[in-house]
Each structure stands twice: as structure tokens, then as C-alpha cells.
Homo-oligomer: A and B are copies of this chain.
């Protein structure tokens, strides 16, 4: 659990006493936008999507959480966004009260959380650039490279990138329609940059050219 990586063994065991486990199936909602923030979580396995919704149903996915990521970094009294499982997922859960107490006692834990919040903010701003200024091809290419880099950071191979989320999720993340996402995958495939053994795995055939398409927005 990445949030613990800054702690000593005795501190970790203290943390473990306060925590409980949660299992989620695909599309299960963990928390809903606007709900009071009673518990915080760290993802141990699977993948979560974070999203904001408009009254008319439009949706923006603000990010995908991978194992080690923390849920509730930005939120205050209530959750500002919905969190749902993309695939079967496991989480460690703490009451906000317990976590506040632990943070008080273990400065390293607090520093770690602050660090993660700052990284999330940098990431969110990078995403603003992607949403506001990149073309569909650039968006999809940078998304693939980003997911590949995150896989590597988790000790997984860089190349068959696994995308457990649907095309709708990708579209709602990149500010596109599912048709445009699908067509863009097809285009990258036609150009020989990727292979699509199936819709949820992407083999990167030419990383350099893909990075060029992405406009060197490697994150």
C-alpha cells in the first residue's frame, strides 16, 4: 500500500488495526458525488474511475485509480466526485476520524498524503492541457502512453497495455464521443502504431511515432 511506504513497521501495524477491506464488482459505486465523506480508501487491486456528472447526464471522468492510489485526497466534508469500480477491485478503508488521528500521530503519513495531493494536482493540470488543446489523435496517443507508463510503474509490461475500461469511459475521460475514440484507435492501427488484439488490450508497435503523435505530452 503506497500510502504506507513512508512508514516504519510498527506504524504500519498501527495503521492496519484501524483498517477494513472492501470488495467491489464491475460498475459498483464506492462513493457518490455529494455524499458525506465518512471513510477514505486506498486501492489495493483493480481499477476505479472518478467522475463528475451534469444534470443532463453528461459525464466527465477526471481520472482512473490504480493500486496504490488514494481516494479522497481532494475531498472535504463531502465527496466531490463519484468513484466506481471499472473491474473487480479491492480496497483498504479507514474512517476519516481514524485517519485524522493517524495522520496526527505519524507525520510521515501526513507528508505522504500531501505529496500525493500535489502530484494529483499536477496531473489534473496536465489533463487540462489534454482536454483543451489536443486533437483526438493526440488525446488517444497520450492516453495510451500514460497508461503504459503507469503499468510500468506497477512492474507490468509497457506494451500490451490493458484497458479494462469501456470506450465510453475513455471518451468521457478525453472529452470525445465513443465513435471518435473508436475511429481514432482504428486510425492508429491503420498507421501501424498499435495493434488491437481485442478492444481491451493495445499493443504498442512504434512507441516513438506514437509519442510524436501525442505531441510529446508524455506524463
Interface residues of A (CB under 8 A from B): 50, 52, 54-56, 58-60, 62, 73-76, 80-81, 114, 117-118, 120-122, 124-129, 131-133, 172-175, 215-217
Which chain B positions have C-beta within 8 A of A114? 114, 117
Taking a contact as CB atoms under 8 Å apart, the answer to whether A132 and B215 are in contact is no
**A174 vs B133: C-alpha distance when bound (angstroms):** 9
Taking a contact as CB atoms under 8 Å apart, the answer to whether B118 and A76 are in contact is yes
A-B contact pairs, 13 of them (CB 8 A): A52-B125, A54-B133, A60-B132, A62-B125, A73-B121, A74-B118, A75-B118, A81-B125, A114-B117, A127-B128, A128-B128, A128-B131, A132-B174
A69 to chain B, nearest CB (A): 13
Taking a contact as CB atoms under 8 Å apart, the answer to whether A132 and B133 are in contact is no
Partner of A122, one of B59, B80, B174, B215: B80
Taking a contact as CB atoms under 8 Å apart, the answer to whether A133 and B80 are in contact is no
**A40 vs B1: C-alpha distance when bound (angstroms):** 32
Which chain B positions have C-beta within 8 A of A50? 125
Which chain B positions have C-beta within 8 A of A173? 132
A20 to chain B, nearest CB (A): 24
Most buried by B among A59, A129, A174: A129
Which chain B positions have C-beta within 8 A of A117? 114, 117-118, 121
Which chain B positions have C-beta within 8 A of A120? 121
Taking a contact as CB atoms under 8 Å apart, the answer to whether B60 and A128 are in contact is yes
Taking a contact as CB atoms under 8 Å apart, the answer to whether A131 and B55 are in contact is no
